[in-house]
Structure 1
Amino acid sequence: MTVSTEQDTRRAEHLRTLEEEVGVLIRRVRRVIGERSQAVHPQLQPASYLMLGYLASQGPMRSSAMAEAFDIDKGAISRQVGHLEELGLVDRTPDPADGRASLVSASEDAVRRLEAVSADRRRWLDEKLGDWSEDELEQFALVLGRYNATLNA
């Protein structure tokens, strides 16, 4: 076996391992999103939780901007916003740039709930990763950020 072939074989194995680990991560993230959504509100759907978190971090926006950000149709966004509105987790205000349109934002109550859930999750994560050094945490976050940026390009 040549050096190039050995390297190709090792690289392929590393990519298979990466794919498997990302699969584990995706399953864990789905479970965590379900848990977090329930912690914010017992009737909050996981998909709506993600939208609510996005609104809380990005600020008020039109539903069309959310449809673009999540790459889903406006009907699905409208249903999720309606669900969030029924739960009292979003507010609608007229869009100052266009009175016919409205802006959707996370309610103050929703922001408080999201922050509490996030703080609890960070405490849990800190306990689980208690034996990781600051440098290991930083390096993992940097590599994961690079991975995400590369795949988003």
Structure 2
Amino acid sequence: MSVTEHTADSPEARADAVRALEAEFGELITHFRRVITENANRVSPGLLPGAYKIFTTIARCERVTVSTLSERMLMDKGQVSRMVRELEDLGLIERSADPSDGRSFLLQLTPLGTDRLAAARLPQEGMLLRTLEDWSLTDIGNLTRLLHALGSGVTPGSTASD
């Protein structure tokens, strides 16, 4: 039975709508996994997607500790440390002393890492812009607002999400 075959806001219609949304999220996640795997291989053949995610997180943070990476990515510190070593061995990241804590160090991309990341992302650059080219600004804004509300766990339009 489809969503439209139920009454407008019945529990069955809501459950069907949520299942349809879940299926679309599954497809989107599969697409993102494929992109991450392709990008990881462009950065360095054989680079695992998990190491690529750590690499891109370091790029996004600019300078970050292993502890912060572990917390942010919900990963074991030892696992993150192993991937960091791999990225360092490939010359993609470097570590420097943390001026605020002499016991730790900060990670950042090397110039090679910055160049490799830019080259890996090049095929996707503009893809979202092209995909949304015919969407109205209102639709893009609504999608952004709704995704923010979903990610924040708030009701769309409530003051907590504004």
Relative to the length of structure 2, the TM-score reads 0.79
Alignment of 1:12-27 (within 5 A): 12-27=15-30
Deviates more, 1:10-19 or 1:118-127: 118-127
Change beyond 3 A, Cα 1:6–1:69: closer
Aligned to 2:37: 34
Deviation at 1:65, TM superposition (A): 1.4
Q: Deviations over 1:27-75 (max 9, x none)?
A: 1111111112122232322111111111111121221111111111111
In structure 2, C-alpha distance between the alignment counterparts of 1:4 and 1:93, rounded to whole Å: 61
How large is the Cα RMSD of the aligned pairs? Answer: 2.4
Aligned to 2:58: 55
Alignment of 1:26-105 (within 5 A): 26-105=29-108
Aligned to 1:150: 153
Structure 2: state its 5+ residue gaps: 1-5, 155-162
Say which structure, 1 or 2, has more relative contact order (CA 8 Å, 6+ apart).
Answer: 1
In structure 1, give the amino acid aligned to 2:139.
E
Structure 1: state its 5+ residue gaps: none
Relative to the length of structure 1, the TM-score reads 0.83
- Structure 1 runs of 4+ aligned residues shifted over 6 Å read none
Number of aligned positions between the proteins: 149
The structure carrying a bigger helix percent of its residues is 1
